[in-house]
Structure 1
């Protein structure tokens, strides 16, 4: 049995360049867009998700100090981030640790740029938030999530929930 334990470490790349200044990353939340459904035959209200559509999705990058990397990402244009990690998994049948590759690709534009604070002997806690229009999560080479808002792709666990929508809209 494989027991996922922890993230060993990760690196962040912006258009192929390593962001060595990054301290941590807050990954996007996938909140489905909803519409309240009520009426005859329903005992109350239901917030019904809109198939394959998600509210604002953000990735947040926290820097220890204000540096070139944090300023580069603040430029008002699209950025392509490649976040690569190594996850530690314990294989209980062999008693050994296994490393699983984690890769998250996000594409987005800056939404907020918090320069942080200045305090003697402390980090600035500089924070940048990108609004993501594209997210792709791969684990050990297998795509688990791919959301592409502009191209009507909502692939979760190998099922593209917007394939029929693209077909209905004449996009295939």
Structure 2
């Protein structure tokens, strides 16, 4: 019997600057594909055809305690990959004590800043939604998934799943 790896500690970095002591929560991006049902002649049922990444895009949501000028000054970034965030997590199995490093790196721009409630004498939190054009998930230093929407790159476990498509269209 084994126990699952659970998040024990984390930190968030914005363009290299640490949010230790400031980062309250991070909702890591949901990865999804756009699948369309196809049922052709001679098929007894539909098969979903993979049409690439979902139209919902890739987003990361994060909350900071207090005011942060770095993120505020990034609002309205003109480049689709103008902001880089890095989330570092430490996960541990409680049966073996084994610790793994989990890292998510994204590049994009802030779509929404929610300043929350401003109430004297109460906690102040700001929430950010950052829409991403780049995503990379690494576990213990191994790149598991890398998505670069602007450069037509999609790698899973070392396999570049768009390499042949790029070659077919001359990229």
TM range (shorter): 0.7 to 0.9
SS at match of 1:97: coil
Aligned residues: 166
- Aligned counterparts of 1:44 and 1:127: Cα–Cα separation in 2: 44
- Aligned counterparts of 1:161 and 1:123: Cα–Cα separation in 2: 46
- The question of 1:80 aligning with 2:81 is answered no
What TM-score, normalized to structure 2? Answer: 0.83
> Aligned-pair distance for 1:135?
0.6
> Aligned-pair distance for 1:122?
3.0
SS at match of 1:108: strand
Match in the other structure for 2:28: 27
Match in the other structure for 1:133: 133
Give the stretch that moved more between structures: 115-124 or 99-108: 115-124
> Structure 2 matches for 1:76-155, cutoff 5 A?
76-77=77-78, 78-90=82-94, 92=95, 96-155=96-155
Match in the other structure for 1:68: 69
> Aligned-pair distance for 1:69?
4.0
> Aligned-pair distance for 1:79?
0.4
CA RMSD of aligned residues (A): 2.3
- Aligned counterparts of 1:7 and 1:121: Cα–Cα separation in 2: 31
> Aligned-pair distance for 1:164?
1.4
Structure 2 residue ranges without an equivalent (≥5)? none
Instruction: Looking at secondary structure, tell me which structure has more strand per residue.
Output: 1
Match in the other structure for 1:49: 50
Deviation digits for residues 97-130 of structure 1 (CA, Å, limit 9, x no counterpart): 1211111111011111111112344333321111
What TM-score, normalized to structure 1? Answer: 0.83
Deviation digits for residues 67-109 of structure 1 (CA, Å, limit 9, x no counterpart): 324424435241011211211124x5xxx41211111111011
Structure 1 residue ranges without an equivalent (≥5)? none
- Aligned counterparts of 2:48 and 2:125: Cα–Cα separation in 1: 37
- Aligned counterparts of 2:129 and 2:84: Cα–Cα separation in 1: 13
